[in-house]
A and B are shown apart, each in its own frame.
Chain A
Amino acid sequence: MTDQPILRLRGVNKSFGAVHVLDDVDFEAYAGKVTALVGDNGAGKSTLVKCIGGTYPIDSGSYEFDGSPVHVSGPRDAAALGVEIVYQDLALCENLDVVQNMFLGRERMRGVVLDEESMEIAASQTLTSLSVRTLKSVRQRVSSLSGGQRQTVAIAKAALWKSRVVILDEPTAALGVAQTAQVLDLVRRLADQGVAVILISHNMLDVLQVADRIAVLYLGRMAATVDRADVNQTQVVELITTGRSGDLGIQPATASAGVSI
């Protein structure tokens, strides 16, 4: 992995009052790779994601994008860089159709009139490029879509906007087996288009199936960042629950210091 990461965080700290939530965290995301971000509840995954997305400003550390340091002070800054977060509660309007949702807030206009044709074409092309076969029509209302289809729309929205970094927060949490497989396929294809995908998941099977790299957070510290090929499920679970696994992870002296927080 000699490429330069699109997104690189160095020594990021974040506290809420006396609670030190992120402690010297390093994190990278590479174009074309799926980076899984795992960790137990309270490990700081959500906080890290919100720091990347600009919802929380970081206390200290550096935020680099394309190799140059940037200052992200709000969600708009992150969006301008091309960072898109697909939240667990999808944020789609059920009463609008697929095209309308994908272009919500960024509608194409022809004078004062909405340019429906051009939006419909672009939405169709994006879905086609992601080989989405589960949607009957792009003019279907979202209320008529299944959970997996809604996730598909939310992810395709990120692809439509040519996002550089797409963060998926538990995309398969509420899905059945078949739909999970479809969404994971989509995650893969999104990465194959050159997007740096960050996948947050509790589901080890999903992570091991789709991720290229796995970053494990343990009590606010980055326990380890490993290549998928180098680890098995047991090791990842150990990293999540104890912060270390053999040579990997936080070594005992520092690990106990971590526990004492």
Chain B
Amino acid sequence: MSTNLEKPSGSTKPDAAAAHTTTADELSSAAVTVPTGADVGSYLRQYWQRIRGGDMGSLPAVAALVVLFLVFSVVENGFLSKANFASLITQAAPGILLAMGLVFVLLLGEIDLSAGTASGVGGAIVAVLLTKDWPWPLAVLAALVVGAVIGLGIGWMRTFLRVPSFVSTLALFLGLQGVVQIVVNSANTQGNLSLQSDTLVALENSNMPVWLGWVMAAVLVIGYAAQKLLAVAGRHKRGLPTEPSSITAAKVLGIAVLSFGFTFVLNLNRSPNAGGGTRIVERNGQLVTEKTGGEFLGGVPWVVPVILVLVVVLGFVLSRTRYGRHVYAVGGSDEAARRAGIRVNAVRISVFVICSTLAVVSGVVLASQTAVNAAQGGGNTLLLAVGAAVVGGTSLFGGKGKITDAVVGGAVVAVILNGMADLLHGKNNSAWQWIVTGLVLLLAATVDAMSRRRAGSTGLG
């Protein structure tokens, strides 16, 4: 981060030198005081006020996650097992990736109902191209391009033909299911078609070496802390109020505990034969019982770094770049954005492109997990992902949401499905999973709508 100040040139530029010298005294006497600088108490009070005003972000989802973990770990034996913890993550991964793309679309108050089947198309294309001996990076690239084109089509229909995204993507949802079947059938296989690439299969089925998991956690924590400290130092240098340093420390500590905690648990040996066993071998014509060494199954699933990189990159784009600011602006009021000179149509098209492209990424990960079949990406894949984004705190009405919402919400949905799967037995097991997931989505949408109304009536937001 460079320290010199680069401002757009032109007559509108205020005198930079004057700005520096006058800032401190002007601000100290200014009417516009910023209470965030004060102390921990007022910081927390302000945070509490924002929550009461309906600006809850991911808080309900985090609370739900904690409650669900407690409930399932009490009522169900296997839930807290090391193996189940790892499989929770791989189960949640495709939904989280899909929800990340949907966050962009939802930020504009739009919807992409075709993202699920677009992910199916992506998975199918990669699977089929691999059977034709394409190298995996090329196969994935081809699928990503197809995804981008699908998004471009939706965006074009929305901005130039003015077809509501709800309708055009519903049509694509149906149409792309047919495309998935055609693509899968072109490989002349019956039933499931697994990815013929060790690298791609490893995403959901192999783990990072233990040491690499620790390195990743360390990089994550150091990166987060450095980013935080640089931001605080930058604001401090220019005389701007900063959040209390104890809050900053708490945030960094929280990230550290989470990262290292996750890595620790995932690095434990979760093999059922961890302690080793015995086997009978023939030696010198005799059968003898021989003790075998314990197997090791552990480490962070490879899909985790994929998700982390996307969270960091997309989060940076949304919160730190001009493009991200414009996405929020168009979502808040496209008329205001238009008057401010933002190219609203371009922004609108871009979010659909991002969504469909990420859907393909999600499709590849899903294919890595379950192999590809003709019904890939259909059914409830998409609705669960929309549910994940909304549960995570992204508003259906546009303008509000973060990329991490997809992760938190996706985790909630995955925990419900995973926890319920073993909790209920009998033929109605999956029926209850759907009912509970539906209720959670309904609850999240209601919270979203009510917090919006509350923000309107209390004047807080």
Q: Point out residues on A near B: beta carbons under 8 Å.
A: 76, 87, 89-96, 100-101, 104-115, 117-118, 120-122, 124-125, 127-128, 131-133, 135-139, 141-146, 161-162
Q: Within 8 Å CB of A104, what residues of B?
A: 325, 329, 336-337, 340, 342
Residue pair B328, A136 in contact (C-beta under 8 Å): no
Chain B residues contacting A127 (CB-CB under 8 Å) are 30-32
Set of chain B residues within 8 Å of A114, measured between Cβ atoms: 320-322, 325
Could you list 10 further interchain pairs (A-B, Cβ under 8 angstroms) beyond the known A111-B2, A118-B19? A90-B336, A91-B333, A91-B339, A94-B399, A101-B336, A107-B322, A108-B7, A110-B5, A114-B325, A143-B460
B197 within 8 A of A: no
Most buried by A among B34, B36, B55, B239: B34
Task: Indicate if the CB atoms of B328 and A96 lie closer than 8 Å.
Answer: yes
Q: List 19 A-B contacts (CB under 8 A).
A: A91-B336, A91-B340, A93-B399, A94-B333, A95-B399, A96-B332, A100-B329, A104-B336, A105-B329, A105-B340, A107-B325, A108-B7, A108-B8, A110-B2, A113-B320, A125-B14, A128-B27, A135-B32, A142-B461
Q: Determine whether B459 belongs to the interface, using a CB cutoff of 8 Å to chain A.
A: yes
CB within 8 Å of A: which B1-37 residues: 1-2, 5-8, 11-12, 14, 19, 22-23, 26-27, 30-36
Q: Which residue of A lies closest to B19 (CB)?
A: A121
Distance between Cα atoms of A145 and B455 in the complex (Å): 11
User: CB distance B240 to A121 under 8 Å?
Assistant: yes
Interchain CB contact under 8 A, A121 and B238: yes
Q: Decide: A109 and B332 in contact? CB cutoff 8 A.
A: no
Chain B residues within an 8 Å CB radius of A120: 240
The answer to whether the Cβ of B234 comes within 8 Å of any Cβ in the partner chain is yes
A90–B332 Cα distance when bound, in Å, is 13
Chain B residue numbers with a CB within 8 Å of A101 are 336
For A137, the chain B residues whose CB sits under 8 A away are 32-36
B-side contacts of A138, CB under 8 Å:
32, 34
Which A residues lie within 8 Å of B333 (CB)? 91-94
The 8 closest A-B pairs by CB, nearest first: A143-B461, A105-B340, A93-B332, A95-B399, A133-B31, A95-B332, A91-B336, A104-B340
Asked if B12 contacts A106 (CB within 8 A), the reply is yes
With contact pairs A93-B332, A95-B399, A161-B12 given, residues A131 and B5 touching in the complex (Cβ less than 8 Å): no
Cα-based distance from A61 to B414 in the complex (angstroms): 68
Q: Is B331 an interface residue (CB 8 A)?
A: yes
Complex Cα distance, B456 from A144, in Å, reads: 8
- The reply to whether A110 and B26 contact each other, CB–CB distance below 8 Å, is no
Q: Which residue of B lies closest to A134 (CB)?
A: B31
Q: Are A95 and B320 in contact (CB under 8 A)?
A: no
A residues near B22, Cβ cutoff 8 Å? 125
B312, chain A: closest CB distance, angstroms: 14
What's the dominant secondary structure at chain B's contact region? Answer: loop
A113 to chain B: closest CB distance in Å? 5
Chain B 99-143 interface 0/1 with A at a Cβ cutoff of 8 Å (1 = within): 000000000000000000000000000000000000000000000
Q: Number of residues in B with C-beta < 8 Å to the partner?
A: 52
**A254 to B12 CA separation, bound complex (whole angstroms):** 45
| Contacts A93-B336, A94-B333, A104-B337 given; does A141 touch B461 at CB 8 Å | yes
Which residues of chain A have C-beta atoms less than 8 A from B7's C-beta?
108, 115, 118
Q: How far is the CB of B338 from chain A (nearest CB, A)?
A: 9
- Picked from A108, A124, A145, the residue with its CB within 8 Å of the CB of B32 is A124
* Minimal beta-carbon separation of A91 from chain B (angstroms): 4
User: Which residue on B lies nearest to A124, using beta carbons?
Assistant: B32
Is there an interface contact between B6 and A110, defined as CB atoms closer than 8 Å? Answer: yes
**A168 smallest CB distance to B (angstroms):** 15
A100 to B325, CA, bound (A): 8
In the complex, what distance in Å separates the CA atom of A128 from the CA atom of B25? 11
Contact A124–B12 (Cβ < 8 Å):
no
Does B400 touch A at the CB level, under 8 Å?
yes
Which chain A residues lie closer than 8 Å to B23 at the CB level?
121, 125
Residue of B nearest to A108 (CB): B7
With a cutoff of 8 Å between Cβ atoms, the chain B residues found around residue A117 in the complex are: 234-235, 238, 240
Residue of A nearest to B330 (CB): A93
CA distance in complex: A106, B400 (Å): 21
B324 — nearest CB in chain A belongs to which residue?
A114
- Decide yes or no whether B53 CB sits under 8 A from chain A: yes
Chain B residues with CB under 8 Å of A110's CB are 1-2, 5-6
Shortest Cβ gap from B452 to chain A (Å)? 10
Complex Cα–Cα for A131 and B31 (A)? 7
Nearest residue, chain B, Cβ from A75: B339
CA distance A104 to B328 in the complex (A): 11
B335 at the interface (CB under 8 A from A): yes
Residue interface bits B427-461, CB-to-A below 8 A is 1, else 0: 00000000000000000000000000001100111
What's the Cα separation between A121 and B322 when bound, in Å? 18
In the bound complex, residues from chain B placing their C-beta under 8 Å from that of A118 are 5, 7, 19, 238
Q: Give the residues in chain A near B339, CB-CB below 8 Å.
A: 87, 91
Q: Which residue of B has the minimal Cβ distance to A163?
A: B12
Contacting pair B329 A139 (CB below 8 A): no
As a 0/1 sequence over residues 288 to 301 of chain B, the CB contacts with chain A under 8 angstroms (1 = contact) are: 00000000000000
Interface flag for B341 (CB, 8 Å): yes
Say whether B238 contacts A124, CB under 8 Å. Answer: no
Out of B19, B322, B455, which one reaches A143, CB within 8 Å? B455
**Distance (whole angstroms) from the CB of B410 to the closest CB of chain A:** 23
CB-CB < 8 A to A108: which residues of B?
7-8
Q: What residue of chain B has the Cβ atom nearest to residue A149's Cβ?
A: B459
Roughly how many angstroms separate A118 CA and B6 CA in the complex, as a whole number?
9
Least distance between A55 CB and chain B CB atoms (Å): 11
Contacts of A92 in B (CB 8 A): 333, 336
Interface string of B335-359 (1 = CB under 8 A from A): 1110111100000000000000000
Question: For residue B33, which residues in chain A have a CB less than 8 angstroms away from its CB?
Answer: 136-137
Please measure, in the bound complex, the distance between the C-alpha atom of A199 and the C-alpha atom of B323, giving whole angstroms: 34
A68 CB to nearest B CB, Å: 17
**B-side contacts of A143, CB under 8 Å:** 455-456, 459-461
Task: Check B30–A115 contact: CB distance below 8 A.
Answer: no
> Which residues of chain B from 303 to 338 have a CB within 8 Å of any chain A CB?
320-322, 325-326, 328-329, 331-333, 335-337
Least distance between A179 CB and chain B CB atoms (Å): 13
In this complex, what residue of A is CB-closest to B340?
A105
Which residue on B lies nearest to A154, using beta carbons? Answer: B336
CA of A110 to CA of B7, assembled, Å: 7
Are A112 and B5 CB-contacts (below 8 A) given A93-B333, A117-B240, A138-B34? no
The answer on a CB contact under 8 Å between A95 and B11 is no
